Amino acid sequence: MWRFANVSVRGTSHEKSEKLCQDFSLCTVINGLDGNEVLVAVVSDGAGSAGHSEIGSELACSLFIDEISAYIHAGNDIQNLDRAFYEEWISHFQNEVKVRADAMSLTSRDFACTFLAVVINNSCAVFAQIGDGAIVTNSPEEEDIYNWQFWPQQGEYENTTFFATQTNASEMLQFSMLSGRVCSEVALFTDGLQRLALHYQSQSAHSPFFRPFFKVLRGQSEASSVKFTSSLAAFLESEQVNNRTDDDKSLILATRRKNAPSNDFR
């Protein structure tokens, strides 16, 4: 059974400027027609320079969950999720953004946001990403060692990246599918956590960052624990985290491993 949590919290910079949190995240487990569980997780970071990016990030997450749910409930196999599916999803998303932009006399750029998503069942895992942030999974050989799927994308200039709203988003799409039971734990996060969760000098995932979270999550009896989610949000809003990043922060964690119960992230 998958246990999971997703949290998006406002950064201190947006608190000071009284702006909304521009991150959004969703995670769920869908039962396929064959009775097997499918984990679906998606996170999006609205561009700070876009006036309504919080609308874009929420739309990206909700639309992806809706389309994957319809795909699974129609009896389709996750192994048939190819790059073309995601390129078509980008087209649908951009059309939805344009409808909102036209209604508000704005441009699609006003809704700019990144896109990171995973779909995992018992036979394969599918990963997709546009922009910065990262998807991290545990190694099949060493379950307490974590590796990134795609390194965060950087644009032409420092502190710039790519967005699902831009015209060449399909070209920027990073996509991979891994067959078999390739991972039992996965994390998705936006760029507000990159400096904590990734080691830039060695260009690797910082495994000690993830281990305490997963250790606690494995001990949860429920698929989604309100207590765990609240504790995770409190940690992301803590002084020790805010001293290192003033950006909005989103983190999704999911595990199908088990271990002894624990209640301490430290």
Q: Which CATH number characterizes residue 178's domain? A: 3.60.40.10
Sign of CA dihedral 46, 6, 240, 259: negative
Tell me what the mean pLDDT of segment 160-166 comes to.
94
Which residue range is the domain that position 214 belongs to?
3-255
Arithmetic mean of pLDDT over the chain:
93
State the CB neighbour count (10 A cutoff) for residue 258: 11
Question: How are strands ordered across the β-sheet holding 185-189?
Answer: 3-9, 249-255, 185-189, 134-138, 146-148
Count of domains in the chain? Answer: 1
**198 within 8 A of 206, measured Cβ to Cβ:** yes
pTM equals: 0.94
**211 within 8 A of 197, measured Cβ to Cβ:** no
pLDDT > 90: percent of the chain: 81
Is 156 domain-assigned? yes
Is 261 domain-assigned? no
Q: What is the pLDDT of residue 157?
A: 75
pLDDT tens digits, one per residue of 63-81: 999 999 999 999 999 999 9
pLDDT band at 232 (very low <50, low <70, confident <90, very high): very high
Is 263 domain-assigned? no
Is 68 domain-assigned? yes
pLDDT tens digits, one per residue of 192-214: 999 999 999 999 999 999 999 99
Contacts of 113 (CB under 8 A, 6+ apart): 22, 44, 45, 46, 47, 50, 53, 56, 57, 60, 131, 163, 164, 165
* Cα separations in angstroms, 224 against 4, 29, 218, 221: 5, 10, 11, 9
Separation CA 5–CA 67 (nearest Å):
21
Q: Is 78 helix (H, G, I), strand (E, B) or coil?
A: helix
Separation CA 67–CA 171 (nearest Å):
21
Read off φ and ψ for residue 254, nearest 5 degrees.
-145, 140
Tell me what the mean pLDDT of segment 14-30 comes to.
90
